[in-house]
Amino acid sequence: MNSTIMPDLEATSISLDFNELTNGPVAESGPDTAVMESYVELLNTFIEGEEDWRARPRIIVGHSFGGMLALSWILSNQRTGVTPVDGLVLIAASAGPLFNRVRLRLGSMANREWRLPLRIPLAMWNRPSVTRFVKFLTSGLRQRIGQVDFGSLRRRTDFAMDLAGWRNTDWRAMRSFRFALTGFDIRDRLAEITVPTIVLHGTHDSLFSVDVAEDLAAGLPDAELRIVEGAGHGLPLTHGEEVVRAVGELCALNKRARKHPTSNVERPTSK
């Protein structure tokens, strides 16, 4: 929900804050509206105003909802016949159906992970009265948005970051992004996304089990799955070096491909 969760990618970067993207009519959307398409249109408008977007290579880094928005955006823009990016890093993301895949991690014992499905609670969670009340409790009994620097958090657990996300985000935006994901399921279109992709996922992700990332990577024609031991849903904040490494490798891969366009460029293997 906030670009400060990302590490310094050691390259020219364009960062987008979720609150900026959701200002206006999208924040008022309901579940029967094409909310994800609205986000895609807003993202296109945002990119058009960025001079640095003209530079190559273009590597998209999407975390959680950002990863799912990135996938939707790529599929939408490929209708023009032009691949809009040169590489993709997906972190703690899913190809859908989202609410069927969200399972709260309770812990593990004897090499067995214990998770609680959240499909029904999520539906109740998104009622206006409930969302406003949670925002009220997590924001010091106020409804205003309190800008949060995730990098300054003392505790970097998924729970602590989730609370910070509530403080950072307008309650209507919290509802609208869930509406965007209510019908999100692009599993049958993943084969259309042919750009080199690295899928990063933590073994301790509090929302998505590892099999969600495995399915995502398996559906993409040119994807490599990297499981990060001990990382949670906030992987970019706790294991930022993995994100930086993935971006650097995709940039190097693209540069080699441009230098030798007729040869097969081998992707570096992860250890």
- What confidence score (pLDDT) does residue 246 get? 97
Decide: 224 and 119 in contact? Cβ < 8 Å. no
- Residue 262 domain-assigned (yes or no): no
> For all residues of the chain together, what is the average pLDDT?
85
Decide: 114 and 107 in contact? Cβ < 8 Å. yes
**For residue range 16-32, what is the model confidence (pLDDT) as tens digits?**
877 666 655 555 556 55
pTM of the model: 0.88
- What confidence score (pLDDT) does residue 160 get? 92
- What confidence score (pLDDT) does residue 28 get? 56
Rounded CA gap, 210 and 208, in Å? Answer: 7
Decide: 176 and 202 in contact? Cβ < 8 Å. no
Closest to 201 in 3D by CA, of 35, 21, 45, 64: 64
- Residue 264 domain-assigned (yes or no): no
- Residue 127 domain-assigned (yes or no): yes
Evaluate if residue 110 carries a pLDDT over 60. yes
Evaluate if residue 104 carries a pLDDT over 90. no
- Residue 271 domain-assigned (yes or no): no
15-21 LR contacts (CB < 8 Å, sep 24+): 16/43, 16/46, 18/65, 18/66, 18/169, 18/173, 18/177, 19/145, 19/168, 19/169, 19/170, 19/173, 20/46, 21/46
**For residue range 167-211, what is the model confidence (pLDDT) as tens digits?**
888 888 888 888 888 878 999 999 999 999 999 999 999 999 999
Q: Please tell me the total count of domains within the chain.
A: 1
- What confidence score (pLDDT) does residue 82 get? 59
Tokens of 143: 């409804």
Question: What residue has token string 């990016």?
Answer: 85
Question: The dihedral of CA 151, 155, 159, 165: what is its sign?
Answer: negative
HEC readout, 228-242 = ECCCCCCHHHHCHHH
Q: SS3 for 200?
A: strand
Any idea what the CATH number is for the domain that residue 45 is in? 3.40.50.1820
Q: State the residue range of the domain holding 249.
A: 1-7+14-106+113-257
Give Cα separations from 259 to 60, 256, 264 (angstroms).
21, 5, 11
Evaluate if residue 271 carries a pLDDT over 50. no
- Residue 267 domain-assigned (yes or no): no
